[in-house]
Chains A and B, each alone.
Chain A
Amino acid sequence: MTDDPSLERAARSWIETGPTQAPDQAVDTALQRIQSTRQERDLIPWRLPTMNPILRVAGVTLVAAIALALGIYALRPTSNVGQGVPTPTDQSVATPAPGLPSAAVTAPIPNGTYRTSIPVADVLARLDADGSLTPAEKTAVIDDVLGIRGASVLNVEITVADNSFTVGLSTDSEPIKPGSSWKLYNLDASTIAVDIGTKSSGIQAYRVTRTGLTFALAAVSPAEAVETFVRSVLFETAPFSPAT
């Protein structure tokens, strides 16, 4: 790097002098701080490197199959796909179409913010009963993924804005913290896909059941144990209603 080897030698020799051991007290203090520090995780930590390749292929195949089926559906002469996205205040969307059984609505989720609240005790009971997660994974779900230790209610907020799908979380003691914004695809009136980025497992698909202005989600793409549990808590526990 330099044309002066003696300078480089002198500089290297000089930079090597000095302490080479961290003071114990500094390390102990750091470890104490870590005990009360929560790790930052993606709200739903699907990641390519850790995801089973078979599951990933299965997920992509499933989404492709859904897309194909919906393409055929969309080509039907009576299709209403592509007629614009209704808003939560659009009463024509909230009203079931004539001839449909019960109050189910078939149309994309209107733009808007939706919430649901989940008792933390229920989450903990489900976690306790879950046999697919290790104790460390259960702790991580409580402390780092959901952040529900000591809380009594977990609030989940979904904001739909045309082609984005944002999930925020809060507890009774913390305000809503918006998470990542994912790409949203309305595969058909009752199925959505969220693309959560190239650094993760990619696309997750959910079946949407709408009743009036509320909707419920059910995952239809495969996932690993932690992801399966987390998304079942966040998205499948209770229906989402428009935020007031």
Chain B
Amino acid sequence: VGNAVNPTAGWEAQVDRALVEQARHGDREAFAVLVHQVSDSLYAVAYRILRDPGLAEDALQNALVLAWRRLPKLRDPDRFEAWIHRILVHACYDESQRARQWKATIRVIPMDGPSIPDGTSVSADRDELERAFRQLTLEQRAVFVLHHYVGYPLVEIADLLEIPAGTARSRLHYAMAGLRRALQPSSELVEEGRLA
């Protein structure tokens, strides 16, 4: 479940429960220490969902401020990581929505022509993955990142995002399907009747 190399795998050891408890009781200095412990990981997750450093910064800031505000309502300090990831994902949704509103009147014209993957170029594959990932919905991206980057099991993602487990599974399925299409040579797609 999840990948072996992920930046948040050691969170349980990194996050000091005593700090969470102190911050819950209003200790700003304790929360500042917590922020320094978790902000790199949170930013990495936000960037991977939003694919934009500016939006990821804003999402991180808003998530941290919201986490501070809501921390007294966190019932179980042992659930801090999952709880702050939920806040972050929702902050990512909000940022994306805000960005969409700003860009609503701008028609995006691709700089490059359509690229044709040759199936061997790693760089081309990465470009295609990037393009395909951006076509996914935010909800699909979030499940993909939480599962394949952070390493959460799907059941935990469902719990974290407060969605049914089947929905989490389906979002991941569609995300993978989207990426698969991006990596398939165009000839295969034509054969499969996906490009008509």
B28 near A15: Cβ-Cβ < 8 Å? no
Identify which of A25-33, A188-196, A214-222 touches chain B.
A25-33
Is residue B7 within 8 Å, beta carbon to beta carbon, of the partner chain?
yes
**Chain B facing A: main interface SS:** helix
Is residue B172 within 8 Å, beta carbon to beta carbon, of the partner chain?
yes
Is residue B137 within 8 Å, beta carbon to beta carbon, of the partner chain?
no
B25 near A136: Cβ-Cβ < 8 Å? yes
Is residue B42 within 8 Å, beta carbon to beta carbon, of the partner chain?
yes
B112-155 vs A, Cβ < 8 Å mask (1 yes, 0 no): 00000000000001100110000000000000110111000010
In the complex formed, the residue of A with least CB distance to B2 is: A12
Identify which of A38-46, A105-113, A119-127, A151-159 touches chain B.
A38-46
- Chain B residues with Cβ under 8 A from A89's Cβ? none
Size band of the A side of the interface?
35 or more
**Inter-chain residue pair count (beta carbon < 8 A):** 131
B40 near A21: Cβ-Cβ < 8 Å? yes
B53 near A19: Cβ-Cβ < 8 Å? yes
B68 near A37: Cβ-Cβ < 8 Å? yes
- Chain B residues with Cβ under 8 A from A136's Cβ? 22, 25-27
Identify which of A137-145, A161-169, A202-210, A228-236 touches chain B.
A137-145
Whole-angstrom distance between the alpha carbons of A30 and B53 in the complex? 16
> Given A1-B147, A19-B53, A144–B26 Cβ distance below 8 Å?
yes
A40 near B69: Cβ-Cβ < 8 Å? yes
Whole-angstrom distance between the alpha carbons of A10 and B42 in the complex? 23
Size band of the B side of the interface?
35 or more
B35 near A19: Cβ-Cβ < 8 Å? no
Whole-angstrom distance between the alpha carbons of A144 and B73 in the complex? 12
B176 near A7: Cβ-Cβ < 8 Å? yes
Is residue A35 within 8 Å, beta carbon to beta carbon, of the partner chain?
yes
B125 near A10: Cβ-Cβ < 8 Å? yes
- Chain B residues with Cβ under 8 A from A47's Cβ? 75
- Chain B residues with Cβ under 8 A from A30's Cβ? 35, 39, 60-61, 64-65
Is residue A49 within 8 Å, beta carbon to beta carbon, of the partner chain?
yes
B59-82 vs A, Cβ < 8 Å mask (1 yes, 0 no): 011001100111111011000000
Q: A residues bordering B, Cβ < 8 Å?
A: 1-2, 4, 7-8, 10-12, 14-23, 26-27, 29-31, 33-35, 37-42, 45, 47, 49, 136-137, 139-140, 143-144, 199
Other than the given A1-B154, A1-B172, A22-B40, 20 more pairs (CB < 8 A) read A4-B176, A7-B176, A10-B129, A11-B148, A11-B176, A11-B179, A16-B3, A20-B41, A21-B44, A23-B43, A27-B39, A30-B35, A30-B65, A34-B28, A34-B32, A34-B64, A40-B70, A41-B72, A49-B75, A49-B76
